[in-house]
Amino acid sequence: MKFRCERDTLSEALGTAGRAVVATRAGRPSAMEGLRMSVSGNDLEVVGTDFDMTIRVVAEVSGTADGVCVAPARLLTDAVRAVDPGAVDVDLSDDEIKVSRGRTNYSFRTFPADDFPRLTEVDSEPLTCPAAELSEALAQVVRAASSDDARPVLTGVLMAAEGEGLRLVATDGYRLARRDLPNAKVLAAGQQVLVPSKSLAELSRLLGSGSGDVTIRLGEHDATFEVGTTKVTTRLLVGQFPNYANLIPNNPPNRLIVGREPLLDALRRVKILVRDLTAHVKLTPRADGLELTVVNQELGRVHEDVEAKYEGTEMSIGFNPGYLMEGVEAVAGDEVVIETTDAVKAATVHGTDSPEFLYLLMPTRV
């Protein structure tokens, strides 16, 4: 295997595929810590996997000799990033891969190609979804998924058919995010799958601001998302997602409307006194404003007033400030609506003109 490629192009391909590679462990290195690189003509395919998620990237190179190798992911990626800009030469000789640029020459031992996991492609009808819409939806929903592997179902994002479109839902037991894509028909009526949030976070990263379409293939146990020349394949989670519909309150009686940016700025300021997970920010709405208060018995207290409109009963309610900020950040538009039933029941956060997105947040004890 021998090829030449621009440093930035190669670095991006290695870095993208490398995000699926398992972290280095103590002991003898294995092929699971490597990237499978194959050259055919002027196409370079780079593959990284941790068994649960696989990322494949195809980059254009100037190929001299076809071939396959499994190279150490971190070393190779760091080496390519470190060399000067310009064309990089990569050459596989026996069990070593050589990277050269100018006066810099690296040589790394490779792993046996047969030791790399044998991966299968998801063979199903391709469906498409607008990249911009999916990118925005993932940014809103993935944040609410749990990172605790003790409850694996909650580490996933539910993708379910909803009318003629798609619904995404995630929850960690303390908050929930739901986003509808009315025109994204990628599932059959009644169909739903549970996709690991880690894989969707990588997909969101690939989509960026989004353009064109995302190609989706759903298998019995796996799903593949294709963006340009990059594919993310992930194993689907197995388990029963919580019956979230029963958690969403019907027409809460208290309604607060506040500017999104002023509220976020106020939360950032009062959050300075929050030092542990048990602390909360207390919201006290009035007809013409909202007071935010944080009390830290050891450090002090802070309160701030924000202009707002409120209709409802007199009350105070506490929230985890980080969770509240993430919900407000996810709202599209200039204004945020926070609806409550009382100080102990779940509150909803959404935009004034964006019914497609809903964020549900459990209060803390004031």
Provide Rg for the chain, Cα atoms: 24
- Burial letters 19-49, b for 16+ CB under 10 A, else e: bbbeeeeeeeeebbbbbbbbbeeeebbbbbb
What structural domains and CATH numbers belong to the chain?
2-115 (3.10.150.10), 127-245 (3.10.150.10), 248-361 (3.10.150.10)
Please give the order of strands across the beta sheet that includes 34-40.
67-72, 34-40, 43-49, 53-60, 230-235, 222-227, 213-218, 127-130
Distance CA 258, CA 88 (A): 53
Q: Report the pLDDT value the prediction gives residue 122, as an integer from 0 to 100.
A: 86
Pairwise CA distance, residues 366 & 364, whole Å: 6
For residue 256, the model assigns a pLDDT of 97
Average confidence (pLDDT) per 10 residues, the chain, 366 residues: 97 96 69 94 97 96 96 96 97 93 96 90 88 94 94 96 93 96 87 95 87 89 94 96 92 96 96 81 96 90 96 95 95 96 96 93 90
Instruction: Print burial letters for 310-344: b (CB count within 10 Å at least 16), e (below 16).
Output: bebeeeebbbbbebbbbbbebbeeebbbbbbbebe
Closest CA to 141 of 363, 359, 361, 364: 359
Q: Which helix (H) or strand (E) holds 132?
A: helix 131-141
Q: What pairing do the DSSP bridges indicate for beta strands 347-351 and 43-49?
A: unpaired
Residue 101: predicted pLDDT: 97
pLDDT (0 to 100) of residue 210: 65
| Cα dihedral sign, 217-219-224-225 | positive
Pick the closest to residue 220 from 122, 121, 118 (CA basis). Answer: 122
- pLDDT for the residue 238: 95
Spatial neighbors of 145 by CB under 8 A, at least 6 apart, are: 154, 155, 156, 157, 170, 171, 172, 197
What gap in Å lies between CA 82 and CA 11, rounded to an integer? 10
**CA separation, residue 231 to residues 42, 199, 351 (Å):** 19, 11, 33
Give the pLDDT confidence score for residue 119 in this predicted structure: 86
Q: What is the pTM of this model?
A: 0.91
Alpha-carbon distance of 142 to 333, in angstroms, equals 19
CB 162 within 8 A of CB 171: no
In whole angstroms, give the CA distance from residue 351 to residue 330. Answer: 9
